[in-house]
Amino acid sequence: MTKHVFIIGSKGIPAKYGGFETFVEQLTARRMSRETSYHVACLSDRKGEFEHNGARCFQVRVPQVGSARAVLYDLLSLGECVRYIKQRRLTDCIVYILACRIGPFFYAYKRKLEQLGVTVLVNPDGHEWKRGKWNSFIKRYWKLSERLMVKHADLLVCDSKGIEKYIRQDYAKYCPRTTFIAYGADLVPSTMDSRELELLIWMEKHEIKPREYYLIIGRFVPENNYELIIREFMKSKTAKDLVIITGAEHNSYFDELLHKCRFDQDPRIKFVGTVYHEQMLKKIRELAFGYCHGHEVGGTNPSLLEALASTRLNLLYDVVFNREVGGDGALYFSAEPGTLTARIHEVEQYDDFRIKMLESRAKARISKEYTWERIVKSYEHLFHSFEVLHRNPQHARHGLSYSKEKLKQSQ
């Protein structure tokens, strides 16, 4: 029997960027079971349907309503799922919601889906309520929304063991059912040659030389600790550059940081805008001397996995999520003044053997735990085995351990 899996919460596919978008792209492109039929919500300014990677992509038209647009998008997508399932009289369906944006409205939709025999899975993502860009009111909304979605979901699929532990501890009164399936990455080298004209022009434009720069790739937000990394780098005596690939233009945080740090007076600090060419971005990672990762909010971060898979040397902010992923394949720094500066001076004394040892360990972490093949196989097994939990709630604890054991076997 065909299992219909409806995925909402990503901006949709084909994916150009974004963690959830890349996940959905990989999940559908690498489908292993012909008995899995994917239906993917796609944010759009028009309504319609198209096929991509064999998945039915349904466009959801959402008006421009500011920061509430993401919430409205999820609600409209969920309503479309209910309509489609009822109209087609589908059975054996799962709705998988990425992120916890619609908690206050979730239960009403959940009841409708229950009446249709639909199982609802939720990916709680990271600590959205901790993000610095939100005011206190919005932070309270995100925390409430997370709590209500944890309360009513049939299963929470966490892409980080740290997030799973947090969900089970902070919401213990709801006895949440959880499982862990990581995010993915690939170890295939870039198809772009280091002598290709497009890359050479880009490097010449920004006065960047191979192995002579540290790299940061990520959203330009306070919780990614740009201020900490820039300050520590400016204090260092390294002759290398700090290349920052991010969309910082017209960003109030950029202006605030410029005023506080005066990094415009240090020619080593280079904001180079965004790079959307996937193979070129991977080659830029491969040619870096090291990667600096300052993320402290969220679970398994896609940019960290990609760095571990591509960059020889990785310096990570010391929080549980990053330790979980990097293991012994990375080096760590804290918020204590001087820590990162000392790390920079330390690694520049490493010989090639020590750097290659760290690179080998990092790639081994990806190969063992985070390949897309492993992730997709785990998800497909979950989609086809979760009914054990859903249909036998009185055996929830037994069912959960059964599901996890089966997941381990499938991996």
pLDDT tens for each residue of 346-386: 999 999 999 999 999 999 999 999 999 999 999 999 999 87
Given this chain, do its domains 3-183+371-410 and 197-369 carry the same CATH topology? Answer: yes
* Residue 400 confidence (pLDDT) above 90: no
Give the CATH class of 197-369. Answer: alpha beta
Domains of the chain by residue range? 3-183+371-410, 197-369
| pLDDT at residue number 297 | 80
pLDDT of residue 208: 98
Give the per-residue pLDDT at 315: 98
Average pLDDT over residues 199-218: 97
pLDDT digits (tens, 9 = 90+) for 241-263: 999 999 876 688 999 999 999 99
Evaluate if residue 189 carries a pLDDT over 80: yes
Sheet holding 55-61, edge to edge: 48-52, 55-61, 36-44, 3-8, 93-98, 119-123, 155-158, 178-180
The predicted pLDDT at position 389 comes to: 45
Provide the CATH topology of domain 3-183+371-410: Rossmann fold (3.40.50)
* 11-27 pLDDT, tens digit each: 999 987 778 999 999 99
pTM over 0.75: yes
Residue among 396, 371, 383, 320 at smallest CA distance from 157: 383
Residue matched to tokens 């085995």: 385
pLDDT confidence of 128, banded at 50, 70, 90?
low
pLDDT at 129: 60
Task: Look at residue 131 in the predicted model and tell me its pLDDT.
Answer: 66
- Give the model's pLDDT for residue 82: 97
Among 138-142, 163-167, 215-219, 262-266, whose mean pLDDT is lowest? 138-142
Whether pLDDT at 299 is above 80: no
| Both structure tokens of 371 | 């390949």
| Average pLDDT along the chain | 90
